[in-house]
């Protein structure tokens, strides 16, 4: 069983989790800037990139022993759920939490904005018969931000299914309320996956959290607005 962690840079430790259907290579365009100020730990989440598919418990056990005593933690999209859950489990080790185009719960409810359950159900059905179509549809949802990297060609179908189940079932809204560490969430106004309504709902529920909206960004503000994103990270972790 393998958990791939790519370490690079010099400075304060910053652990980054990628989103669904991607791997740690999604951060590559940011490395020239981020590695000047931070020691990056770029993690391939279970089943993606070079990491084996594994349970949450195995993931935590494999990761925590390879990290320094204190570190900042950031996650994009599904990786934001992983980051929030990990920060809640290891609050004494995590100094800062950064959520990027993410939510503590991705599904729509009467009092919570999010993805319609039928969308996830449709993705799960298509994964059985036309996985490439699912990835195309997912890219289309994200492409409003103008910048869209290529999806990895070697995605594991089982990991894709597990990731969709995570998006549909992990609810860490209460866990976010429990966290007592500096926390910042970034959103793109054009995001179709975590729309601005999520920011508004979170701002009402979590008054102690910092929120930033990129007015012309979609679901990948760290790529479409890389300079502004890096400046925000540097300021947040200063």
Q: Are 227 and 111 in contact (CB under 8 A)?
A: no
* 0.85 exceeded by pTM: yes
Q: At 56, is the pLDDT very low, low, confident or very high (cuts 50, 70, 90)?
A: very high
Delimit the domains of the chain by residue range: 5-236
Per-residue pLDDT at 70: 98
Catalytic residue (one of 6, 18, 96, 219): 219
Residue with more model confidence, 138 or 170: 170
* pLDDT > 60? residue 147: no
Q: Which residues lie below 8 Å from residue 8, measured CB to CB, with a gap of 6+?
A: 31, 35, 39, 40, 42
User: Does 191 participate in catalysis according to the annotation?
Assistant: yes
Catalytic residue (one of 6, 24, 191, 224): 191
Q: Is 140 annotated as ligand-binding? A: yes
User: Does 154 participate in catalysis according to the annotation?
Assistant: no
What CATH number is given for 5-236 in this structure?
3.40.50.1820
For residue 137 the two structure tokens come to 């549809």
User: Would you call 168 helix, strand, or coil by DSSP?
Assistant: helix
Q: Are 43 and 13 in contact (CB under 8 A)?
A: no
The helix (H) or strand (E) run that includes residue 175 is helix 173-178
pLDDT tens readout for residues 185-228: 999 999 989 999 999 999 999 999 999 999 999 999 999 999 99
Q: Are 170 and 77 in contact (CB under 8 A)?
A: no
pLDDT tens readout for residues 59-105: 999 999 999 999 999 999 999 999 999 999 999 999 999 999 999 99
Per-residue pLDDT at 159: 93
């Amino acid at each position: 069983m393998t958990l791939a962690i790519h370490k690079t840079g010099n400075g304060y430790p910053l652990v980054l989790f990628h989103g669904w259907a991607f791997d740690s290579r999604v951060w590559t365009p940011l490395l020239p800037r981020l590695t000047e100020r931070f020691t990056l730990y770029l993690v391939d989440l279970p089943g993606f990139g070079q990491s084996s598919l594994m349970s949450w418990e195995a993931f935590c056990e494999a990761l925590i022993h390879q990290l320094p005593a204190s570190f900042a933690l950031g996650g994009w999209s599904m990786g934001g759920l992983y980051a929030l859950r990990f920060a809640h489990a290891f609050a004494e080790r995590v100094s800062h939490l950064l959520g990027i185009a993410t939510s503590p719960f991705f599904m729509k409810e009467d009092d919570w904005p999010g993805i319609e359950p039928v969308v996830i159900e449709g993705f799960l059905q298509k994964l059985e018969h036309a996985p490439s179509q699912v990835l195309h549809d997912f890219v289309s949802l994200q492409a409003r931000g103008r910048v869209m990297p290529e999806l990895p060609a070697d995605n594991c179908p089982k990991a894709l299914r597990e990731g969709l189940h995570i998006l549909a079932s992990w609810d860490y809204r209460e866990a976010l309320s429990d966290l007592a560490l500096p926390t910042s969430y970034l959103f793109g106004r054009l995001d179709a996956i975590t729309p601005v309504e999520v920011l508004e709902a979170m701002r009402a529920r979590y008054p102690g959290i910092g929120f930033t909206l990129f007015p012309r960004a979609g679901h990948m503000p760290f790529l479409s607005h890389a300079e502004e994103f890096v400046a925000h990270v540097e300021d947040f972790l200063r």
